[in-house]
Chain A
Amino acid sequence: LAKTTQPISMDSYEGQEVNITCSHNNIATNDYITWYQQFPSQGPRFIIQGYKTKVTNEVASLFIPADRKSSTLSLPRVSLSDTAVYYCLVGGGISSGSARQLTFGSGTQLTVLP
């Protein structure tokens, strides 16, 4: 499984767009990039997943450059309730985001300020 590197923490203000970048220099050809959100004492929650280029859903966008060695989770117009830890995971095959094997790093603690 590819190792990921994320900032330990980030602060933002309500209404701003937040971009969290994850580095995964050793990503393999069949690896997917998956982001999870976790609130204190709750289970992680799937946010978004992608393989290349850009993926957008109702809560976030995921930008993946052509070399796929990094990815950026973009949260538009954050609110106080977006304060959480965000994890970037990389894995392929049976580890493509499945419960078979999820390797969580330290994540990024996002704090949204009023």
Chain B
Amino acid sequence: EAQVTQNPRYLITVTGKKLTVTCSQNMNHEYMSWYRQDPGLGLRQIYYSMNVEVTDKGDVPEGYKVSRKEKRNFPLILESPSPNQTSLYFCASSRPPTGGGTEAFFGQGTRLTVV
């Protein structure tokens, strides 16, 4: 089954304690990205990657890091989490839209609470 898998689904942590949210896709997609969703602010892109070792900032990259060492994995790293990073996070993947449009597949989400 084609899917994007995020872990953990829920996480409560303390300010300053480094954490990693993993994302893995089994569709051999080149493109992957991370979004956060907050009430009243909608979905905002954090980082994206167009292929292995190619990453770039989205709209709200501050406080986050990513890496793309393998095509299937795109972890999101919070080096020193702060309460304003409490949010619902989604990972997405897709193939490039060669010759037309394409569709993105999203993970189930990770609800992060930083206290």
Contacts and interface: CB of A to CB of B under 8 A. Distances in A.
B45 A101 contact: yes
Given A45-B106, A96-B97, A106 B42 contact: yes
20 contacts: A42-B109, A43-B109, A44-B90, A46-B104, A51-B100, A94-B96, A94-B97, A96-B102, A97-B97, A98-B95, A99-B31, A99-B32, A100-B94, A100-B96, A102-B43, A102-B45, A102-B104, A103-B45, A104-B43, A107-B42
Given A43-B109, A49-B103, A94-B97, A99 B88 contact: no
Contacts of A96: 97, 100-102
A63 to B, nearest CB: 16
B60 to A, nearest CB: 13
Interface residues of B, number: 31
Contacts of A97: 94, 97, 101-104
Contacts of A65: none
B109 A41 contact: yes
B113 interface: no
Interface in A59-114: 93-107
Interface in B13-55: 29, 31-33, 35, 42-43, 45, 48, 50
Nearest to A32: B101
Does more than half of chain A's interface fall in helix, strand or loop, or is it mixed?
loop
Contacts of B76: none
A81 to B, nearest CB: 18
B50 to A, nearest CB: 6
B66 interface: no
A97 B4 CA distance: 16
Contacts of A94: 50, 96-97
Contacts of B109: 41-43
A108 B97 CA distance: 26
B82 to A, nearest CB: 22
Contact of B29 (A51, A99, A103, A104): A99
B93 interface: yes
Contacts of A49: 101, 103
